[in-house]
């Protein structure tokens, strides 16, 4: 029963008041060991793989169709790898593999670990948003971000592998699918997300520090892009599983 509950047994909806996504490029050899064998890295120029750090102010998360009074408001930090998965029917899906999730609400950490495999823990969050400026910090997560929405065209981060923001947009997230692999049963859990009006704005990052990234063992990691979106309705469909055949 517990395993069933963790497999997203019902559809979920929420509202993203603000989502900031930092995408980091990593030489693909440095990330391959972090994903299960059923997945492949979603690479750029067959050289770079990507880790995203999503910082999301979420409102009214609840089972789809429930009144908003049942919703939960919380801040989410999600650490994800961009991946691909080929279904048994031969369809190639593009999505995310979750490394870790953090939230500022104890209730959300408990519910997240009950209904997902996303490895939730509770953390502290302090944020200050004024006009185009964004500042987010967490002592417990060893995270700091200072950024702003530029008034004109923004430069990409200095060591980004992308030649343009248009190239970078492909790795801004969210992607259509999220995948979890159960090694004991050799099954893949597939969750499809549906979004509306997702128009990311490039950000200029003035300062960042993400302590979790140091645990990945990826010395070649560089900041590739940063985007923000606001006021996005979002929902996830009920999870579905299929057998993986190595």
pLDDT digits (tens, 9 = 90+) for 229-238: 999 998 999 9
At 193-206, the pLDDT tens digits run 988 778 899 999 99
User: Mean pLDDT across the chain, nearest whole number?
Assistant: 93
Residue-level pLDDT at 246: 84
Average pLDDT over residues 74-97: 96
What CATH number does residue 87 fall under?
2.40.400.10
pLDDT score of 152 more than 90:
no
Residue-level pLDDT at 76: 97
The whole domain housing 112 covers 2-243
Residue-level pLDDT at 4: 64
Residue-level pLDDT at 9: 84
**Secondary structure (DSSP) of the chain:** -HHHHTT--S-EEEEEEEEEEEEEEEEGGGTGGGS-TT-EE--BTTTEEEEEEEEEEEEEEEETTS-GGG-EEEEEEEEEEEEEEE-TTS-EEEEEEEEEEEES-HHHHHHHHHH-SS-EEE---EEEEETTEEEEEETTTTEEEEEE--SSPPPPPTT-S-SSHHHHHTTSS--SEEEEEETTTTEEEEEEEEESS---EE-EEEEEEEGGGGGG--TT-EEEEEEEEEEEEEEEPPPEEEE---
Residue-level pLDDT at 3: 66
Residue-level pLDDT at 199: 85
- How many domains in the chain? 1
Average pLDDT over residues 149-159: 91
Average pLDDT over residues 22-51: 97
Among the residue ranges 1-10, 81-90, 207-216, the one predicted with the least confidence is 1-10
pLDDT score of 1 more than 60:
no
């Amino acid at each position: 029963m517990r395993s069933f509950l963790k497999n997203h047994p019902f559809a979920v909806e929420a509202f993203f008041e603000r989502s900031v996504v930092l995408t980091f490029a990593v030489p693909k050899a440095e990330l391959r060991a972090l994903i299960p064998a059923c997945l492949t890295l979603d690479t750029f120029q067959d050289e770079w793989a990507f880790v995203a750090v999503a910082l999301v102010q979420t409102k009214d998360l609840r089972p789809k169709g429930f009144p908003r009074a049942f919703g939960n408001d919380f801040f989410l930090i999600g650490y994800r790898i961009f991946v691909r998965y080929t279904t048994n029917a031969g369809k190639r899906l593009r999505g995310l593999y979750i490394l870790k999730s953090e939230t500022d609400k104890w209730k959300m950490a408990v519910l997240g670990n009950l209904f997902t495999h996303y490895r939730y823990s509770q953390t502290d969050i302090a944020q200050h948003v004024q006009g185009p400026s964004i500042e987010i910090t967490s002592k417990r997560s060893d995270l700091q971000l200072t950024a702003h929405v530029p008034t004109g065209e923004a430069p990409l981060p200095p060591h980004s592998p992308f030649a343009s923001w248009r190239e970078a947009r492909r790795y801004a997230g969210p992607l259509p699918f999220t995948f979890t692999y159960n090694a004991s049963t050799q099954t893949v859990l597939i969750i499809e997300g549906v979004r509306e009006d997702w128009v990311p704005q490039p950000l200029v990052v003035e300062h960042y520090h993400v302590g979790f990234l140091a645990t990945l063992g990826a010395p070649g990691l560089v900041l590739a892009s940063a985007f923000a979106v606001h006021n996005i309705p979002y929902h996830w469909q009920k999870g579905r599983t299929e057998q993986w055949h190595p």
